[in-house]
Chain A
């Protein structure tokens, strides 16, 4: 008897989970800086073009694969063509590696949340008075001089990591019904906190100059191809594409659920959060610049530097008493945690769905094993040299791993989809649609998408999947590789990382996930009822 697949409680639960997965730390700490660095307000033009020509089309592909084939990324690609299963596993492996270090960043946030709350009783946050840099790199991370000095484990971060993985296990081990309930809290909560921080931010002195800095357009930047590559990169990385997450989430939707409108809602919500986060960040940066008497560009930062150094510094400078500084700081780090947790558990859910679909083992056991392994793998990033390892792994996983997976998805769906076996399956289930269908290309998937969705996609979708998105992703990968050949990967200005670190944690890890993808493909799985239909 065929196993009944678990279902989301409602369409809203699915959309909220997908938004939770897409909206993460990058929306707050990456987008505002990328926007400023690539033409300010003018960046919105390539950003929206990228959203419509790459982000949404590729999200439709991932939703369509999940809804159509009712399986994880690996299982869906296996059904596209038996030889493509490795691509699904590759996506899941890349995502898993990212989750290992993403959870470490959340561990830092736990530590800062603890320090913020504790400061109510100790009389002030430890990063007050321009000590944030020292507090982060020395006090919290115990950062060594280079990747060669591993040092020991930083125990408070290990504790935070354990808490993060326990949370992930608790949320996902019961299946997507519990996930659907949790995201009703973890998706609106950071948005509410962003609104509170926005109100506090725009009422500060100097906020207007910061926001003006963020929005003032430099239209000359639009002639620079790198600005366009940055826009496509930001869209691609911030929508959770290429992880296999969205395929897994969509696989828990009924078979004739909407696809296109869900993709539009998820994408617009994600980009709106990024756009709004820019005001929160730049209003406070404007205040900080005003306090220091320097131009806004002198206090700019992105990534962990923004979240754990610049922003806390600015909060600590607001004249509102230690208690309120502690509250605002705690709210900020709670926002980071709630932003991060649904992205983190969605990545793990993608892998758990993959393993469950393949091996038919108990879901709770798979979850426990995956979370334990994730915790153990993440320990390497909790050492004194952890930040260096995280930086290298993140660069290779995002710039090469995710981008290559996305490129391959476009090629497989755009150019190889429509094999003889799949057409037979398609015609058996929907003879009325397959009548007169072209013999290859993404057309069959498009017909399916249009049949089940609130509104239809047309020729533009084929063009984006077959030409635009793969073209831009290829361009981005080549540009990144040329930059690497020119100057290596830099630890600091003019100082490249040692070769062994780049080979081991960069190229080595990127290669290992491909090999693991192939290994999982050849492993013999449990009985897959989908195979009977397809053969």
Chain B
């Protein structure tokens, strides 16, 4: 494969895998914090 192909492969992996991982980490942390505060998924605003 050419250097350009390797660069685009790295670019795609970095953006997509990096982006998805970052979002999942934020989601897991937020959900864990909510659980610690005693707020379950179904308690989120169903007043």
- A: residues with CB less than 8 A from B are 7-8, 10-11, 40-42, 44-45, 48, 208, 211-212, 215-217, 253-258, 261-262, 264-265, 268-269, 271-272, 275, 452, 454-455
Contacts and interface: CB of A to CB of B under 8 A. Distances in A.
B30 to A, nearest CB: 5
A211 B31 CA distance: 39
A271 B16 CA distance: 7
Nearest to A219: B4
A454 B44 contact: no
Interface string B1-42: 110111111011001110110011011001100000000011
A215 B1 CA distance: 8
B4 to A, nearest CB: 5
B2 A265 contact: no
B16 A10 contact: no
A8 B27 CA distance: 17
Contacts of A217: 4-5, 7-8
Nearest to B9: A215
Sorting the interface of chain B by its residue count into under 10, 10 to 19, 20 to 34 or 35 or more gives: 20 to 34
26 contacts: A7-B42, A40-B8, A41-B4, A41-B8, A41-B9, A44-B12, A211-B5, A212-B2, A212-B5, A215-B8, A216-B4, A216-B8, A253-B44, A254-B41, A254-B42, A254-B43, A256-B44, A261-B27, A265-B20, A265-B23, A268-B16, A268-B20, A271-B16, A272-B16, A452-B45, A454-B30
Interface of B: 1-2, 4-9, 11-12, 15-17, 19-20, 23-24, 26-27, 30-31, 41-47
Contacts of B16: 268, 271-272, 275
Nearest to B8: A41
A11 to B, nearest CB: 6
B24 A265 contact: yes
A257 B46 CA distance: 10
Nearest to B4: A217
A211 B6 CA distance: 10
A261 B5 contact: no
B23 to A, nearest CB: 4
A7 B41 CA distance: 10
Given A254-B46, A261-B23, A212 B17 contact: no
Contacts of A261: 23, 26-27, 30
B19 A268 contact: yes
B17 A265 contact: no
A257 B8 CA distance: 36
Nearest to A213: B5
B17 to A, nearest CB: 7
A254 B11 contact: no
A173 B42 CA distance: 22
A212 B45 contact: no
B20 A258 contact: no
A261 B19 CA distance: 11
Contacts of A262: 27
B30 A269 contact: no
